[in-house]
A and B are shown apart, each in its own frame.
Chain A
Amino acid sequence: MNGVHDLGGMHGFGPVIREHNEPVFHSEWEKRVFGMTLTAMGRGVCNVDEFRRAIERMPPAGYLAASYYEKWLHALEALLVEKGVVTREELLSGHAAAPAPAQAAESPDDGEGNGGVESFDSSAVKLRFDKSYKPGFKVGDRVVARNFNPEHHTRLPRYARGKRGVIRYDHGVFVFPDTHAHGQGGKPQHVYTVAFEARELWGPDESQRAPVYLDCWEGYLERDRAAAAKPAVKSAPKAAGKLPGKPPGKSSGKSSGKSSDKSSTKTRTAKFAAPARASKSAAKPKARPRAIARKGRKR
């Protein structure tokens, strides 16, 4: 959704104002909204993507005028109504006219009296180590972020759409926000950190050495065929040296993707990336119970 929430690169918002000795919460009601939101998610009333989507659906002027926890309150009320947990009338009266749907009322099973709130939304993250989803890209691959303008929820910001970058990390498998936010399933897929050079994002006059490292679900990416055809792609400024996440080097775009640095890139890749032998169609999403399912998370 091309909403006002997609702020990266916009101008006119003025300097960043900081508050000295800022408290964690600024009023009593902020605390309660925070607690109730976590509780609702812990009970599976909504998932984190639905929650973000509910905030993004706010009318633009209202979004910009609202404080952080006002946005949370708006989203929480909207989702409780949409999921049939409460009615508008009940929200206004502050009293229950009917009991909550059985599933939402079930007591989450953490056994520690936490009310099941120990995870913001475990459904969004559970699949991370599932090795049955083969990655379509590997570290070092040249990619292009898709140029799309969906009305649905997405986590691909406008500033990156259509831009070329390099895969720096493969973080494993996560559910896909674009479908997860709309009750269309998890559609699990790999999430990569993609490095976009400042010049690619902001234009040829951009001189800052300030690449943006953006996390992209596989569905947001396409192979950069143009770059792959070239023997060498202009890489990041040399100073990247042997730091984690350095560009794949002078070799061709079809390098093994094994970056030579010793720290996180390599380790993480080795650990999370399964061999890319299966075709992408093999990575079919498993049906996962959604909606008001219980998601107690044991630790």
Chain B
Amino acid sequence: MSEGHDHHDGHDHHSAPLSEPAQRVKALEQLLVEKGLVNPQALDELIDTYERRVGPRNGARVVARAWTDPEYRKRLLDNAARAIEELGFPPGPQGEHMMVLENTPRVHNLVVCTLCSCYPWSVLGLPPVWYKSTAYRASAVNDPRGLLKGFGVDVGDDKEVRVWDSSSEMRYFVIPERPTGTEDLSEDELADLVTRDSMIGTGLPKSPGRRESRAAR
């Protein structure tokens, strides 16, 4: 995700002293390599997977398919992990037990993990810092409407806000409502409208007019 962001190249060329955690991590990795428990190349590969290959674009593809293919939507509701795998996204860690939550004109779903930071990695990648923050975890369950306003989402009083606290190994992600005026769009174009936040429930999909301003997520 976040194309265009300046990633470090994996090697520290700075001469500034390492931060305390950086020092500890360096020592730990060196130790585990010496013990034969960690292979640095395997770590690189794993990290690369989560930096570049697994992310909310995967979830967006799933949502767009569900919007356009009623049979797929059924399969997704029935067995989300399997339907997600159909699109080439293996369940992987934190994606084995998945349930999709469909937003409707009457229910807006919002996902949180109040006890830690459980998140559906296989479709959304690793969670953003705000999702893991104390502020989000504290307020999502007892003031979800206020929280959503902070995200610029005003859910009308006629709609139930259903908060999912992911306390188990089940992982949840939201299928937002398909925006109006998108009848003629292709699946790819639809996927471009699906933001990460809309799949957590803290956002809504972009409207078709705003597609060009393709934010990183």
Contact = CB atoms under 8 A, between A and B. Distances in A.
Interface in B12-69: 12, 19, 21-22, 24-32, 34-39, 42-47, 50-51, 55
B113 to A, nearest CB: 9
A299 B93 CA distance: 12
B160 A237 contact: yes
A191 B170 CA distance: 9
B206 interface: no
Contact of B51 (A24, A68, A77): A24
Contacts of B140: 8
Nearest to A263: B77
A16 B130 contact: yes
Contact of A118 (B35, B36, B92): B92
B87 interface: no
Q: Size class of A's contact patch?
A: 35 or more
Contacts of B5: 21, 23
Nearest to A168: B162
A268 B130 CA distance: 32
A25 interface: yes
Interface residues of B, number: 93
Contacts of B43: 31-32, 35-36, 39, 115
A28 B47 CA distance: 10
A114 B90 CA distance: 14
A208 B141 contact: no
B182 interface: no
B107 to A, nearest CB: 5
Max count, chain B CB within 10 A of own CB: residue among A118, A169, A217: A118
Interface of A: 5-19, 21-29, 31-36, 38-40, 43, 48, 52, 55, 64, 67-70, 73, 76-77, 85-86, 90-96, 99-100, 104-105, 113-115, 117-121, 124-125, 128, 155-157, 159, 169, 171, 174, 191, 193, 198, 201-202, 208-217, 236-237, 239-241, 243-244, 263-264, 267-268, 299
Q: Which 5 A-B pairs have the closest CB atoms?
A: A94-B27, A120-B93, A8-B114, A215-B168, A35-B43
Interface of B: 1-2, 4-5, 7-8, 10-12, 19, 21-22, 24-32, 34-39, 42-47, 50-51, 55, 77-78, 90, 92-94, 96-97, 99-100, 102, 104, 106-107, 112, 114-117, 125-126, 128-130, 132-145, 147, 150-151, 157-170, 215-216
